[in-house]
Amino acid sequence: MGFAQTQQPVRVVIVGLEHGHVAGFLPQFPKEHDVELVGIVDADAALREKYEQEFHLDHALFFSKLDEAIAIAHPQALLVYTPIGEHRWVIEAAAAKGLDVMVEKPLTLSLDDALAIRKAAREHHIQVLVNYETTWYASNRAIYEMVQQGRLGDLRKVVVHDGHQGPQEIGVQPEFLEWLTDPVQNGAGALYDFGCYGADLMTWLMHGEAPLSVTAVAQTDKPEKYPHVDDDATIILRYPRTQAVLMPSWNWTFARKDTEVYGTLGYAIAVNPTQVRTRFSEKAPEETTTAAALAPPEDTSLHYLAAVLRGELKPQGDLTALDTNVVVMQILDAARESAHTGKTVEVKPLPQ
- Asked if 98 and 78 count as a contact pair (C-beta separation under 8 A), the reply is no
Diameter over CA atoms, the chain: 65
pLDDT value at residue 352: 87
- Rounded Cα gap, residues 131 and 102, in angstroms: 7
CA-to-CA distance for 313 and 302, rounded, in angstroms?
A: 13
Higher pLDDT, 1 or 143: 143
3-class secondary structure, 10: strand
pLDDT mean over 232-242: 98
- In the chain, domain spans: 10-132+301-319, 134-294+327-346
- Within 13 Å of residue 86, how many CA atoms lie on the same side as its CB? 18
279-326 pLDDT, tens digit each: 999 999 999 999 999 999 999 999 999 999 999 999 999 999 999 999
Mind listing the pLDDT tens digit for each residue in 48-70?
999 999 999 999 999 999 999 99
Q: 112-128, pLDDT tens digit by residue?
A: 999 999 999 999 999 99
Predicted local confidence at residue 110, as pLDDT: 98
The stretch 263-272 carries a mean pLDDT of 98
Domain spanning 134-294+327-346: CATH superfamily = Dihydrodipicolinate Reductase; domain 2 (3.30.360.10)
pLDDT of residue 5 exceeding 70, the answer is no
Per-residue confidence (pLDDT) for residue 2, from 0 to 100: 46
Distance CA 158, CA 165 (A): 23
Q: What letter would DSSP give residue 350?
A: P
What is the model's pTM?
0.97
334/347 Cα distance (integer angstroms)? 7
Q: Looking at domain 10-132+301-319, which CATH architecture does it have?
A: 3-Layer(aba) Sandwich (3.40)
CB environment 108-134: b (16+ within 10 A), e (fewer):
bbbbebbbbbbebbeebebbbbbbbeb
Listed residue (254, 92, 112, 188) closest to 103, CA to CA: 92
- Averaged pLDDT, 77-87: 98
Sheet of 213-219, strands arranged across: 287-290, 275-279, 267-270, 256-263, 155-163, 243-249, 232-238, 213-219, 345-346
Would you place residue 7 in the very low, low, confident or very high pLDDT band (cuts 50, 70, 90)? Answer: confident
